């Protein structure tokens, strides 16, 4: 199947180096300490952060840093075919673990000992790149909750089909079976916190694809910063500053 046609356009009309449209909103779940909605094209994800709060399971409590927990669940209607079991399957457990490790790297946990931070991510619509959307949404939610972080984490995925590196794969391109590289970085510190890949790639091609994904992450980072700035301005005006 042709994923990049001879004119260089992909299946949804994008250029190979073009990302899908991003949209983010902060503070959707007023009950949570912090929450955000993140959309990458047709992939829509809600993240809610509860914490820091008292540890529920005393045995896991730690005296010198906070506990970070994460749960990833997909809604029944998020994929094209209705899913029977929204939580608890292997893929969800794996992604929960991945998100937890990624966010743990950037949260300054030593500032909040003996406490627990819960990150809940709910996928409303899945169209490829859910992992990245979840991490981006979680970053925004953590910022909304006012949890101290060393830097924001942004994530983006890239693949390699028909001899071209493609940025931000959607579901059709993802299920083509080609390689799919997901990268999560701390943009200001220029460090990589998450790197995952499916399938196989040659070393040089891999470097190209990873570089492309990192560019994507930086673009997301600038957008996220804009959103956070806008949000802060609103908060300021509400306070009458």
Partner 1 sequence: MVGLSLGEQNFIKGGISQDLRTDGRKRLTYRPIFVETGIIPQASGSARVKLGVTDVIASVKAELGRPNPSYPDKGKVSIYVDCSPTAEPTFEGRGGEEFSTELSSALQKCLLGGKSGAGAGIDLSSLCIVGGKVCWDLYIDGLVVSSDGNVLDALGAAIKAALSNTAIPKVQVSANASSDEQPEVDVSDEEFLQFDTSGVGRHYIADATTAEESQMSSAVSLSINRQGQICGLMKRGGAVLDSSMILDMISVAKHVSEQLIKRLDSEIAAAEACDDDEMEL
CB of 237 to partner 1, least distance (A): 22
Structure tokens at 81: 């075919």
CB of 224 to partner 1, least distance (A): 20
CA distance 104 to 197: 21
Structure tokens at 223: 């957008």
CB of 218 to partner 1, least distance (A): 28
Cβ closest to partner 1, residue 82 vs residue 239? 82
CB of 186 to partner 1, least distance (A): 25
Roughly how many angstroms between the first and final C-alpha of the chain, as a whole number? 57
* Site of interaction with partner 1 (CB under 8 A): 28-32, 35, 42, 46-48, 50, 71, 73, 75-77, 79-80, 82, 86-88, 118, 120, 122, 124-125
Enter the DSSP assignment of 240: T
Cβ closest to partner 1, residue 86 vs residue 151? 86
Cβ closest to partner 1, residue 35 vs residue 109? 35
Q: Which residue has the tokens 């949890």?
A: 147
* Phi, psi (degrees; rounded to nearest 5) at 44: -125, 130
Cβ closest to partner 1, residue 13 vs residue 80? 80
Q: Which residue has the tokens 């619509």?
A: 125
Secondary element (H or E) of residue 54: strand 43-54
């Amino acid at each position: 199947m042709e994923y990049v046609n001879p004119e260089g356009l992909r299946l949804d009309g994008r250029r190979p180096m073009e990302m899908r449209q991003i949209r983010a909103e902060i503070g959707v779940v007023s009950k949570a300490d912090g929450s955000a909605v993140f959309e990458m094209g047709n992939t829509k994800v809600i993240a809610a952060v509860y914490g820091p709060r008292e540890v529920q399971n005393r045995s896991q409590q730690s005296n010198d840093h906070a506990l970070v927990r994460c749960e990833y669940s997909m809604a029944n209607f998020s994929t094209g075919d209705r899913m029977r079991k929204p939580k608890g399957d292997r893929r969800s457990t794996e992604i929960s673990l991945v998100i937890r490790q990624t966010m743990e790297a950037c949260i300054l946990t030593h500032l909040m000992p003996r406490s627990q931070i819960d990150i809940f991510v709910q996928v409303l619509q899945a169209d490829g790149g859910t992992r990245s959307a979840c991490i981006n949404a979680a970053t925004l939610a953590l910022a909304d909750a006012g949890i101290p972080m060393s830097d924001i984490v942004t994530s983006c995925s890239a693949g390699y089909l028909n001899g071209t590196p493609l940025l931000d794969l959607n579901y059709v391109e993802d299920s083509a079976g080609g390689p799919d590289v997901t990268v999560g970085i701390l943009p200001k510190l220029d460090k990589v916190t998450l790197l995952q890949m499916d399938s196989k790639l040659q070393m040089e091609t891999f470097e190209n694809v990873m570089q492309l994904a990192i560019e994507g992450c930086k673009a997301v980072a600038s957008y996220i910063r804009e959103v956070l700035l806008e949000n802060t301005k609103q908060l300021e005006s509400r306070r009458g500053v």
